[in-house]
Amino acid sequence: MAKSVTFYPLGVGDSFTTRHFFVNSVINVDGREFFIDCPGYIAKMLHQNSLHGELPLGIDRYKELFITHLHSDHVGGVEELAYLQMYKTVNPIKLYGPDWLLQDIWSHLRPALEPSPREGSDIANFDWYFDPIAIGETHDFGEFTVSYKYTRHKPRTLAYKFDFGNFKLGYAPDTGFDPELIAWLSDSDLIIHEVWFGPTEVLGGDIRNLHTPIADLLTLPEEFQRKTLLCHYADSAYTDHPENPSENIGSYRLLQQGKLYKLV
């Protein structure tokens, strides 16, 4: 059972945001830090975070990283992390996800990272850069367990549930409205769930296949709403402060970038 757990959003915005950073977070469990997703331009994000956020972080803090899926707003920075390992193999960052996802990440990175600049080694391997650790549907980390479920999103995307023994955190940053996923998340004490504001017929199709309109979320019980923080939101979600959303969001609250949430 964990003695101390904090949750810290480094980004909260949707994939078009100019106001925030893309959705990504770090969880601190008894001093051990786990990042979830890694969008591009990490150094700029961390610099802005050091100016405006409650928890300054350096890039050297990335030691363990969960991935939800391969859209660029979630993994664009993984290649940037690999640059730290260009000339060394020791202490690679641990990458967590199902085996197929880890393989997809290397397939994605390989054209950029396989040709090696090292003396005497023309071809680099994935495990020079990262320590890929395949996890099953439930994985025991000692102080806590993590389980995952697929969400309604393309490409294949994971929601994670962290069970710290005395507190559960559900994390679904990219999904269409999915009652089965909602049911799976519902035993969590705190839920991070995405939201879509505005019209649902966009980009030539129905956004519901990718994202969750606020109207659908407002059909859920009050109890679910009260313990859920919304992320992946549009720049228009609020004007001055995320505690004052631009439209009715029921009993939900907007997740705040750069705010440290103490869970345990």
Footprint of Zn ion (CB under 5 A): 71, 174
Minimum separation from the CB atom of position 107 to Zn ion (A): 18
CB of 210 to Zn ion, least distance (A): 7
Judged by CB, which is closer to Zn ion: 39, or 92? 39
Closest distance between Zn ion and the C-beta of residue 41, in Å? Answer: 17
d(CA 264, CA 256): 18
- Reduced to 3 states (helix: H, G, I; strand: E, B; else coil), residue 91 is coil
Nearer of residues 76 and 250 to Zn ion, judged by Cβ:
76
Task: Tell me how far, at minimum, the Cβ of 174 lies from Zn ion, in Å.
Answer: 4
What is the rounded radius of gyration, in angstroms, for the C-alpha atoms of the chain? 18
Please, which residues bridge with residue 138 across strands? 147
What's the DSSP call for residue 92? P
Q: How far is the CB of 154 from Zn ion (least distance, A)?
A: 8
Cα–Cα distances in Å, from 25 out to 55, 84, 231, 252?
Answer: 11, 20, 11, 19
Positive or negative: CA dihedral 202, 203, 205, 210: negative
Nearer to Zn ion, 37 or 163 (CB): 37
Q: CB of residue 98 vs Zn ion: minimum separation in angstroms?
A: 16
Choice between 104 and 174, CB closer to Zn ion: 174
Measured between alpha carbons, how far is 92 from 81 in angstroms, rounded to an integer?
10
Residue nearest to Zn ion (CB): 71
Closer residue to Zn ion (CB): 174 or 178: 174
Number of CB atoms found within 10 A of residue 70's CB: 18
Q: Which residues pair with 213 in a beta bridge?
A: 196
- Helix extents (H) in the chain: 42-52, 72-75, 78-83, 99-113, 126-129, 179-185, 214-217, 222-226
Which is nearer to Zn ion, 163 or 174 (by Cβ)? 174
